[in-house]
Amino acid sequence: MAQRLEITKTYKLYIGGKFPRTESGRSIPLHDAKDRVIAHVCNASRKDLRESVEAARSSTGWASMTAYNRGQVMYRLAEMLEGKSGEFQQSLQVISGLTAAQARRQVEESIDRLICFAGWTDKFAQVTGSHNPVAGPYYNFTVAEPTGVVAVICPDEPALLGMISLLAAPLCAGNTIVLVASETNPVPAVLLAEACATSDVPGGTINILTGRRSEVLEHIAEHREINAIGGAGLNSRQRKILQEGVAENLKRVHLVEETNPDFSDTDAWTCPWNIEQFTEMKTIWHPSST
């Protein structure tokens, strides 16, 4: 009897609400904690990045929602993650080598963090904005608006909690996202894409690339349609590429310098000033009747 060979899955990218293959046709083997090949992931190219930015730029549905509605959608996305908690836990155990308890705790912290930022959507503007005192018959207000397209560079570990922590703040503010997943364990990002595709998140709001981040970092830095960059888990050379590349186009760059940041620090990672980093402050003058 002939022996049946199992089909090794190739995970696709997530761009504009769809799951395309990389235009380059390249893939990378994905190994488990015992160094066995268990799947393949697409190795995103410069063209894939460009198409992701175009999808994010043309997606206006997210920013045009009311803040309260964005909070509802983010809460629904957290519900979808809760429904996939078993798959997330399995990916963290098999690929990242976590124990069952460690994997479960990371999934729970990730879901809780997303819910936290869902609650911030219609509240952070009251914290970061202001009513400014002026000399004259005017009201002067400063309000927060989304920056635009934000590139999120995820750390290798923790693959899920690091991704959610970096993604939730700019998403909460109304920005659209181009996310570069963990190299060592991109499966949580793929599962997030599946949750986005079956939730109320408008297509193009979150776009997810997998593969070698070194091939796209320089292009992210140089791309003029990317308005801001957030990231963690980068070495000094990678941080330098991003920081030097944005000097000519005035991107906002917020990179965590610690090699192994503590994403479990709830106070640090749920602070509304993490949201403020991905907003633009708009000042409005209005005549006063007094």
pLDDT, position 18: 95
Q: What is the pTM of this model?
A: 0.92
| Percent share of the chain, pLDDT over 90 | 69
Lowest-pLDDT choice from 10-19, 24-33, 80-89, 114-123 = 24-33
- Of 63-67, 121-125, 136-140, 156-160, minimum mean pLDDT range: 136-140
Q: What's the whole-number mean pLDDT along residues 32-50? A: 91
Strands 149-153 vs 176-180: parallel, antiparallel or unpaired: parallel
pLDDT at 141 over 90: no
CATH topology of domain 10-287: Aldehyde Dehydrogenase; Chain A, domain 1 (3.40.605)
Q: pLDDT band for position 109 (50/70/90)?
A: very high
Per-residue tokens: 84: 């996939």
Average pLDDT over residues 28-37: 88
pLDDT for residue 259 is more than 80? no
Half-sphere exposure (Cβ direction) of 34: Cα atoms closer than 13 Å: 4
Specify the DSSP element, H or E, that contains 132: strand 130-132
Q: Identify the pLDDT of residue 290.
A: 58
* Residue 233 φ/ψ region, left for φ over 0, alpha for ψ in the -120 to 50 degree band, beta for the rest: left
CB neighbours of residue 112 within 10 Å: 14
Residue range 179-227, pLDDT digits in tens: 999 999 999 999 999 999 988 899 999 999 999 999 999 999 999 999 9
Is the pLDDT score of 130 beyond 70? no
**Where on the phi/psi map is residue 196: left (φ > 0), alpha (ψ -120 to 50), or beta?**
alpha
